[in-house]
Structure formats: structure tokens, C-alpha cells
Amino acid sequence: MDLKKPRRIGIFGGAFDPPHLGHVALARAAVEQLKLDELRVFPTGQAWHKARELSPAAHRLAMAQLAFSDVPRACVDGRELQRAGPTYTVDTLRELHREFPGAQFLLVIGADQAESLHSWRESGEIARLATISIAARARPITAAVPVDASRLPPGPREPVELPPIPVSSTEIRRLAGAAEDITRLVPAPVARYIDQHHLYPTN
Ligand code: ATP
């Protein structure tokens, strides 16, 4: 009898413009708590639900590689950056199911993303193809609030416990643009990369 457990593969997508310590903490917590064999980090193409023009794909890919290089079992997968047009998570999940038959997929998302998950393309299919793993996310002002479960597509869930880390890429871009210090908010190699490439120029 084959008692081999299915491979557990975490999927963690984001614009990562830039990646910050909240992302890295979430990735580490997901690998440990969900007992992942692998965490695949996907810098997204131009996400359909984000109106802002993102930094060039090559920079976001390079920063993600720097940010997640110390996270055990994490690897950066750049496939969504090569897709023409908008990024849809359901397409990536379908591809991964074909590539890793028999694996179990866990979609790791922060609470803010979880709240809009019902509006993602084919959200019911996403919840069928992956276990949804939600981590609390601190809002800039209010304390972290639990996600309203009635708004989530039905399907298996495994939460990730994460102390609220009140940092966002928006805030980092704002600080960098005002020539203020960002070194406490991003991994050191990412701070150097932003500086060397003048990624978020001062206004
Ligand atoms: P922006 O401020 O540009 O919207 P962001 O900081 O939300 O960016 P994303 O790249 O959009 O970063 O986030 C990728 C994923 O990481 C999402 O699932 C998001 O919920 C989660 N995430 C981002 N920041 C945190 C944080 N501080 N704590 C927990 N989860 C987070």
C-alpha cells in the first residue's frame, strides 16, 4: 500500500512592489505552520484588480528573489510575469495541477486579499483547486480583524497565525519617494536594490 503523503505546495502571489518584511514573515510562517514541502512565490503580472502601474517585471522578480532567498523551501516562480494580459490565479493553479499531479496546493493570502477573494475570476474553482490559507493582516489604523467567512468561497481552509505586521508596499513607496528611511521595513538586500536602481524616485 502506498502511504506516501501528497506533496504540499504553497502558492504565494503578490505584486511585491517592493517585497517587505510582512511578506517574508508570512512566507516563513506559512512554510512552518502549514508544513509545506515547497512555497512557490509568484510576482504577479499587471493584476486585474490593481489599477496602479507596477514597477517593471524584471525589478520585481529580482527583489522577490532577494527577499525570499533566506526562507527555507521557498522559490520564486516568474511565470505570471511572462503572461501577456492580466494575471489570473486560477490559470496558475490549473497549470500547477498539470505539472504536479497528486500534489495538494495551499493558497496563502493576507486577510485583505481574502476579503476580495469572492470577486476573483472563478473563485469557486480556486477554492476547489487549493486549500485557502489566510493570515491576519494589520490595517494601518485599526487592529487586525478576522475575515468574514461568509464571503469566502466554500472549500477547505487552513489558517496561518501571524502577529500583525503593519507594513505595506504602498507605505514603502511613499517613504522612498520622500527620501525617508525604509531599512526597517524591507530585507537589507531589497533596500540596497531599491537604492541602486532608483526605483521609487523622489517627487
Ligand atoms: P500594496 O501596498 O502595493 O497594495 P501590499 O503591501 O498589499 O502592496 P502585495 O504584494 O499586494 O503587498 O501583497 C501580497 C500578499 O501579501 C497579499 O496576499 C497580502 O494580503 C499579503 N500581505 C502584504 N502585506 C502583509 C502584511 N503586512 N501582513 C500580512 N500579509 C500581508
Question: For 100-134, what is each residue's pLDDT tens digit?
Answer: 999 999 999 998 888 889 999 999 999 999 999 99
Give me the mean pLDDT over the 164-179 stretch.
94
Number of domains in the chain: 1
| Contacts of the segment 54-60: beta carbons below 8 A, 24+ positions apart | 54/15, 54/17, 55/17, 55/18, 55/199, 57/81, 59/193, 59/197, 59/199, 60/15, 60/16, 60/17, 60/18
CATH number at residue 71: 3.40.50.620
Find the range with the poorest average confidence among 90-99, 143-152, 159-168, 175-184: 143-152
Residue 190: inside a domain: no
Q: Taking the complete model, does pTM exceed 0.85, yes or no? A: yes
d(CA 73, CA 96): 17
Ligand 1 neighbours (beta carbon < 6 A): 14-17, 22-23, 26, 109-110, 112-113, 135, 137, 162, 165, 167-170
Region of residue 134 (left: phi > 0; alpha: psi -120 to 50; beta: else): beta
In a domain, 152, yes or no: yes
Tell me the three cell numbers of residue 201.
524616485
Q: Is 203 domain-assigned?
A: no
Domain that holds residue 135: 8-166
Probe residue for ligand 1, chosen from 63, 169, 173, 184 as the CB with the greatest number of ligand atoms within 8 Å: 169
94 CA distance to ligand 1 centroid (A)?
23
